[in-house]
Structure 1
Amino acid sequence: MAKKNIDEMSFLDHLEDLRWHLIRATSGVLIAATLAFIFKDFVVGIIMAPKEMNFPTYAYLCKAAQFLEVNTSFCAAELPFEIEVRKTAGQFSAHIWTSIYAGLVFAFPYVLYQLWSFISPGLHEKERRSSRGFIIISSLLFFLGVAFGYFVIAPLSLNFLANYEFTDEISNAWDLQSYIALVRSSALASGFVFELPIIIYFLTKVGLVTPQFLRKYRKYALVLVLILSAIITPPDIASQVIVAIPILVLYQVSIYISAIVVRNQKRKKKRKHV
C-alpha cells in the first residue's frame, strides 16, 4: 500500500506512522543488543578496561604528574577495589542489561534515522536540504560524548572512589551492577549532553531560543554546567574543571549555531518582502 501524502494524513495516520518508526528503531536496538550479547567478550573487555591501570587515561595522567613531580594515585600498580556479585542471577542480569545498553549505543544512528524519517516529511524542501547532515552530525556528537565519558569521566570517577577512604578498616568490594552502572552512566550522560548544539538548533528553528537569550543567561548556564559537572564527576575540583570545559565549549558553539539560524531566517523574510 502506497504511503499517503503528509497533507492527506489524519492524526491517526500520523500515530500509525510513528508506531512503525518506533517499531523499526526498537528492532534495530534489539538486533544490535543481540550481537552485543553474542560477542560478550568484546563488550566486557570495553567495560572492564577502565579498572586497569594500563588504561590510556591513567597512563597520560601519570606521565603528566611525573612531569610536574606530583604524587598521584594515577601511577599506582592497581586500583584498590574488587568486583563481586552478590545476587544469584547477578552475572546473567548484568549480561542482559549491558547488551541492551550497548545495543542502544551501537544502533543510535539508526534510531536517529527513524526519528528523522518521521519528522522530515513535515518540513519544507529547503529545510530538509539544510538539515541533510542531521543524522551524521548528531551521531558524531553522540559518539564523541560517549568517548569523553568513557575515557575521561569514568576513569576519573573510578580512581577517586577507589582511593577514597572513610576508614582504613573497610576494603572496597564493589557490586558488578554498581560498577557497570558507573561506566554506563558516565558514557551515556556525556553522549546526550554533547547533543546540546543539535537541540539548540531545533529550538532556535521553532523560535523558543535566540542567541540573545543564550548570551543573556550565559552566567546562569555556567553555574548549571558546574552543577552538572559536580553531579557526573567525583567531588574534586580538577575533575569538575576537566568535564566543565567541553560543556562550556558546546554552549558557545550552540550560541554560534543559534545566531546562524536566526540570520538565515531574517534573510528569508527579506527575500519574501522583496
Structure 2
Amino acid sequence: MGESDSKPASGPFRADQLHDGDRYELSNGHPIYCVPAGPERGSRSLTGAAVIASDPDVEWAGVDVGFSVTPETLRAPDVAVAAPTAARGWREGAPPLAVEYAGVGQDEPDLRVKIGELLAGGSSYVWVVRLIGPRRVEVHRPGQPMQVCGSGDDLTAPGILRNPIPVDALYDRAAADRAVLRNLLQRAGYDGLEAVRAEGRDEGRDEGRVEGRGEDIAESILALLEDRGLAISAAARQRIAACRDPDQLKTWLLAAARITDPARLFD
C-alpha cells in the first residue's frame, strides 16, 4: 500500500466541540468547511425533502442535521431520514437514508469519503442527486456496487419509505407535488385522489337519499292533514317543506295523525 493510500492521521477535533450553526463537518477529526448552498441546490434539495418527509412511513426527517457517526466524525446530509428522537444535540450514528445534492463546486473526493463514512456508520442508502448533466441519482448501499437511476426511473428504500420516489420528483416541483399529494392522502387514510373523489360521490348520494326521504315525509304530512280536513297556514307548510331532518319530520307525521287542532302540529 502506497503512502497516498494510507488512512490519514486523526485530526484534533471532536463532534462535541462543534455547535449548532457551525459551518463545518468533521471527517476523522479534520474540519471540512461547508459552503452555503446556491439557488439551484437549495431549491431542489427543499423539493426533494418535501417528497421524502411526507412519505407515510417517515416519522422523522431533517435537512442539514448533524450525525455524529463517530466521536471524531460529524456529517450533515442535505436530507436525512431517521427514527424520531427527543434528544438534543447531534444525532448519534448515521441515518438509514441520506441524500446529497451534488452541483457546481462539489468536492468529489470528500463526497466519496462522506458516502463511505455514512455507509460504515449504518446508513442503508445514500442517494447522490446530480445537478450537473442528465438527471440521475447514484444509489449507494453497503457492500454493493453503485447503481444509477435516471429520469423516468423510481427510487425505493424498503423498510424506510413506503412509496417509490420518481427520480424527477427530486428535481421538478410539479412531479414533487404529485408525490407529496399521494403521500399526504395516504397519511390521511386514502389510497389516492380517486379514493377521495369516490368518497365524495358516495357522500353526495347518501345526502341525496336523506334529502329524498325528507321530501317524501314532508309530502306525507301535508297529504295526511288535508285528508283529515285540517287546514294549516302557508308558514306552516313552508316550515314542513324546508325541514331536512327525517327524525323531526317523523315526529310531525305522527302528530298529524293525532291532532285535531292544526295549530298544535309543532307542539
TM-score, scaled relative to structure 1: 0.22
In proportion to residue count, which structure has more strand? Answer: 2
Q: Which has the higher contact order (CA 8 A, sep 6+)?
A: 1
TM-score, scaled relative to structure 2: 0.23
In proportion to residue count, which structure has more helix? Answer: 1
Which is greater in Rg?
2
